[in-house]
Amino acid sequence: MTFIPFAGWQPGMIITEERANSSALIGRVVFSAIKTTSQAITSNGNPVVANALNWDNIVTDLLGGWSAAQPSRWTPPMPGLYQLDGCITFSGPAGAAGAVRNAAWFVNGALVLGGNNRTPSPGATVSACDARSTPVLLNAGDYVQLVPSQDTGADLGTATGSYMPTMIVTYKGPA
């Protein structure tokens, strides 16, 4: 399937396969992944790219942007506006009083402005932190990562089973 930047239908425009493919994607989930195995997240109050989740179960990848060679990254093949949604779940107790959990979006290795969410840990066996639902303009070749962080003072694993972390990318339209 070929993808091209598509600014929308205009009067007199010829319908081509590329334009039809691109317009049919608007509002569609183009990538969805879950983390079925636990991943150790180092203790650090701020998100660091070294802790980016390595996705091991790809549910949907309509654009072919995920690669097993770089399992923490999703890369769009065409520019556009994308909506990022995700959730990080941690297993284990809260640890130190006031411990927090973070979920942050990174694009090309840098924190997205407004893309970080911090949640106080409730001290439960499993704690969750939803990543902010964030619209981002991406170019072809940019890459997106969901990065957790926590500050318990020790490594903390991500949860498994029905609590596993998730990442969802929706194509919202042309840039």
pLDDT computed for residue 136 by the predictor: 96
Give this prediction's pTM.
0.86
pLDDT computed for residue 168 by the predictor: 97
Q: Domain 29-173's class?
A: mainly beta
Residues recorded for the chain: 175
CA angle 28, 48, 81 (to 5 degrees): 25
Query: CB–CB of 175/137 below 8 Å?
Result: yes
Paired with 117 in beta bridges are 103
Residue that the structure tokens 């309509």 belong to: 62
Query: CB–CB of 117/132 below 8 Å?
Result: yes
Ranges of each domain in the chain = 29-173
Query: CB–CB of 40/25 below 8 Å?
Result: no
pLDDT computed for residue 32 by the predictor: 98
pLDDT computed for residue 36 by the predictor: 96
Lookup: tokens for 109: 């290795």
Q: Could you tell me how many helices (H) and strands (E) the chain has, helices first?
A: 1, 13
DSSP per position, 45-91: SS--GGG-----EEEEETT--EETTEEEEE--SS-EEEEEEEEEEEE
Task: Residue 134: name the closest of 95, 61, 71, 82 by CA.
Answer: 82
pLDDT computed for residue 35 by the predictor: 97
pLDDT computed for residue 97 by the predictor: 47
Give the rounded distance of the alpha carbon of 99 from its chain centre. Answer: 23
Q: pLDDT tens string for the chain (175 positions)?
A: 555 555 666 787 777 777 677 778 889 999 999 999 999 999 887 888 899 999 999 999 999 999 999 999 999 998 999 999 999 988 876 554 457 888 899 999 999 987 777 777 666 566 777 888 899 999 999 999 999 988 888 888 898 988 899 999 999 988 7
